[in-house]
Amino acid sequence: RFGQCAGWSYAVEQGWHSKAWWARPEVSARGVEILHLTPKPDDPPRECWYYRDGQTVGHFDIGDTPDEGLAFLLPAFEGAGLLDDPLLPDMSEDFDSLRATLAALQQYFGLSLPREQIMEGRLPAAVTAAVPPENLGD
C-alpha cells in the first residue's frame, strides 16, 4: 500500500520483511530521499536506513545512536530523550525507544504520516515484483 503526505511518498510493505530495499541506494538517485524503516518483529533489531542521491547516508538499529553518516540527527534524538546523558538517571523501563525514534525522525524530516489512513483506509496497492528477490527473508 502506498500514498502521499506532506510532500513525501510512502509505501507500507506487508508480510515478511523484504531485503529488496536494503543496500540499494540507487533507488534514491536524482535528489530522491528514502527513509526505510524495517520493524523486523521476528528478527530484531528494528532498523532504519537513509538513502539520498544514490548513496547510503547511514543506518542504525532502533534504540541505538545513529552512525557517523547520520550525525545530523543527533539533536533530534537528544530532544526525544534517546541519547544517554551521564548526568541524568537511566531511562525508565516505560520509555518506548521505538516511539521516541519515530518522533525524532518525524521532527527532523517533517514527516506526518496519516496513521488512520494507513491502518484502516483504502490505499492503492501495487505488485513490486512478480518473483520475490533471492534474499527475501534472509
Strand, coil or helix: 47: strand
**Residue 92 within any structural domain of the chain:** yes
Return d(Cα 76, Cα 89) in angstroms, integer. Answer: 20
Query: Domain tally for the chain?
Result: 1
**Residue 132 within any structural domain of the chain:** no
Write the pLDDT tens digit of every residue in 24-60: 788 888 888 888 888 777 778 888 889 999 999 999 9
Return d(Cα 133, Cα 138) in angstroms, integer. Answer: 10
**Residue 36 within any structural domain of the chain:** yes
Q: Quickly state the pLDDT bin for 138 (edges 50, 70, 90).
A: very low
pLDDT at 128: 59
CB atoms within 10 A of CB 46: 18
Give me the domain span that covers residue 36. 2-120
Global pTM reads 0.73
Contacts of residue 93, Cβ cutoff 8 Å, sequence gap at least 6: none
What integer is the mean pLDDT of 111-133?
A: 68
Supply 6's cell numbers: 506532506
Return d(Cα 126, Cα 93) in angstroms, integer. Answer: 40
pLDDT at 75: 93
pLDDT at 117: 73
pLDDT at 116: 78
**Residue 135 within any structural domain of the chain:** no
